[in-house]
Amino acid sequence: MVQAKIPVGILGATGMVGQQYISLLNDHPWFEVRYAAASPRSAGKKYEEAVAGRWQLAKTYAAHVGSIIVEDASNVSRAVEAFKKGGCSFVFSALEMGKDETRALEEEYAAAGIPVISNASAHRWTSDVPVLIAEINSDHTDIIPLQKKARGWDRGFIAVKPNCSIQSYMKPVHALALAGYLPQRIIVSTMQAVSGAGYPGVPSLDMIDNIIPYIGGEEEKTEKEPLKIFGSIDNGVFKNAEFPKISAHCNRVPVVDGHTACVSLEFAGKKPSSMDEIKAIWAAYKGLPQEADFPMAPKQPIIYRSEDNRPQPRKDRDTDKAMAVVVGRLRPCNVFDIRFTALSHNTVRGAAGGGILNAELLKHKGFLN
């Protein structure tokens, strides 16, 4: 017998990440979009009307989603009603409000019994909220029972994903750490796609015959979030790792999708014996998503390309449902130990796809029943 799909809601359903969620969930085997909420401007309209002229993706949305009546995201009671009728088991949050409002609203959903799996940055530094990259720190979901208990929430909770800029190089670094080669210092320079800024986002006058050597707040996120992800749970809250120390230069370049990172890495102690050993470690790297065969999981999280001139955003970003990290140019670093270039699709792996993978992890662990 076919298992009924779990009904999910999307907060911020009409924005770019919301659209990406809806598109990626078109044929998902476990989840089905049944609830969509956005700003008051869209509330009351059919989804297809709310996104008319604003749909940004080449792939369209499922027909049944087009006729969903969009709710006001700030009206949590509507989601609770939907939940009671079996129409919204949990929500993906792709809210694009201010940080404080987002933080409060996500808590309101959780308190009302609706688990929130969020792309927003609001709760990344909340001490009992896990920042999940499913291959790396799937054990960080252990904090959820503690979070619920501390907050007095019965069914709801909050789990988030990190910033898109770190997706490309965190897994290669993690793979090496797992193999005993601990990262001590990293200097990274990113070339980030414009879709990361949403729509309308970056003006075209800034991206024709030009690059912008600055993205507000991005370097701080790139430097700090890995320390929480590599950290541990201590007495009900997260304790950051001390290493690696990261210094980031974040740049905006005229690319639609796909963030590229040039990484120089120094190990803390033991060093790999050769570049080939590192490539072998990356090729063998797997996490829970691969072991448990989650629908959204890339078969191989790290793909190494041996050509000199890869990875390239347009040619490599869609590798394995746009969920794999593509790495190339591994070579010794003149200053640190090694250097390489890594690429990740920022609105799939780095946003909605990563969120769905987190939801799959949470369902696998029994948090979304």
Binding site for a copy of itself (CB under 8 A): 52-53, 56-58, 185-187, 189, 191, 194-195, 199-214, 216, 223, 245-249, 251, 253-256, 260, 262, 264, 307-318, 328-329, 333-336, 339, 341
Describe the strand order of the beta sheet including 158-160 as a list of residue ranges. Answer: 71-72, 31-38, 6-11, 90-93, 116-118, 158-160
Sign of CA dihedral 126, 128, 133, 137: positive
Q: Residue type for 14, please?
A: T
Compute how many other C-beta atoms are within 10 angstroms of the C-beta atom of residue 219: 18
- Which CB sits closer to a copy of itself, 4 or 335? 335
Which is nearer to a copy of itself, 67 or 77 (by Cβ)? Answer: 67
Which amino acid makes up residue 369? N
Helix (H, G, I), strand (E, B) or coil at 185: strand
* The pair of three-digit structure tokens given for residue 195, joined into one six-digit string: 């879709």
User: Could you tell me which residues come within 8 angstroms of residue 320 by beta carbon, excluding any fewer than 6 positions away?
Assistant: 298, 299, 300, 303
Distance, in Å, from the CA atom of 292 to the CA atom of 62, rounded to the nearest integer, reads 27
Residue whose CB is less far from a copy of itself, 280 or 333: 333
Instruction: Answer for the pair 198, 216: CB distance below 8 angstroms, yes or no.
Output: no
Catalytic residue among 123, 164, 174, 364: 164
259 is catalytic: yes
**Active-site annotation holds for 123:** no
Per annotation, catalytic residue among 123, 140, 259, 364: 259
Least separation in angstroms between residue 174's CB and a copy of itself is 19
Give the tokens for residue 292.
């448990």
Cβ at position 259, least distance to a copy of itself in Å: 11
- In one letter, which amino acid is 274? S
**CB of residue 132 to a copy of itself, shortest distance in Å:** 24
Nearer to a copy of itself, 206 or 234 (CB): 206
Nearer to a copy of itself, 75 or 210 (CB): 210
Taking the complex as a whole, the smallest distance from the CB of residue 91 to a copy of itself amounts, in Å, to 26
DSSP conformation class of 2: P
SS3 of residue 58 by DSSP: coil
Token pair in block for residue 212: 């912008």
Closest CA to 325 of 111, 172, 96: 172
In the complex, minimum distance from the CB of residue 312 to a copy of itself, in angstroms, rounded to a whole number: 5
Annotated catalytic sites, by residue?
164, 259
